[in-house]
Amino acid sequence: MTLRLGDIAPDFIQQSTIGDLRLYDYLGDYWGILFSHPADYTPVCTTELGYTSKLQEEFSKRHVKAIALSVDDLKSHEGWIQDINETQNTYVNFPILADKDRKVSELYDFLHPHASETTTVRSLVIIDPNKKVRLIITYPASTGRNFHEILRVIDSLQLTDHYKVATPANWENGEDVVILPAIKDENELNERFPQGYKTITPYLRFTPQPNKKPT
């Protein structure tokens, strides 16, 4: 199957480093990050899993749970986790799926048909509490993921889900946002954006981030 933005994320039960994991039960009303790795004991992925562990406080602030995946088995995962903890000075505190049968990889389109039948591409999926897919991003094997960008996207998604705004290029949490063009009524504008707004063009209007108090 081909997974697209807005699709319902497929549920599954799969072995993991914390026991059998059912996706929907594990996430509950949390946001989820599901990211794949081509194999255990790979250098770039080792740094990524270590950094993910160090970001758990940031994920918790955003009501997010992380889940990693590799097609190797649990025994291999256990050894790899020891390496990650030692080399990255951390403690892996999230589940890693043992997707040896490639069930989850096939559900989430993590297998590249022109690269290998067993090696997953390095993809990452963000899943919202309604179990909808909100982001899909695939990295080349030589380039480590930018987890600060992942946090930025989550901040944007959570903000724009609750307010009629969008986030402009290079936006960071706390900066001005863009009012959706569909809002044209002046009374509605004043009610929704009491901090005011700046009109650049009729379709480009900036306002302070609605859920941030003015300093």
Three-state helix/strand/coil letters over the chain? CCCCCCCECCCCEECEECECEEHHHHHCCCEEEEEEECCCCCHHHHHHHHHHHHCHHHHHHCCEEEEEEECCCHHHHHHHHHHHHHHHCCCCCCCEEECCCCHHHHHCCCECCCCCCCCECEEEEEECCCCEEEEEEEECCCCCCCHHHHHHHHHHHHHHHHCCEECCCCCCCCCCEEECCCCCCHHHHHHHCCCCCEEEECCEEEECCCCCCCC
Q: Which residue has the tokens 């930018």?
A: 146
- Residue 128 among the catalytic residues: no
Sequence-ordered list of residues with C-beta below 8 angstroms from that of 19, at least 6 positions apart, any chain:
none
- Single out the catalytic residue among 9, 21, 45, 125: 45
**Which sequence positions are flagged as catalytic?**
45
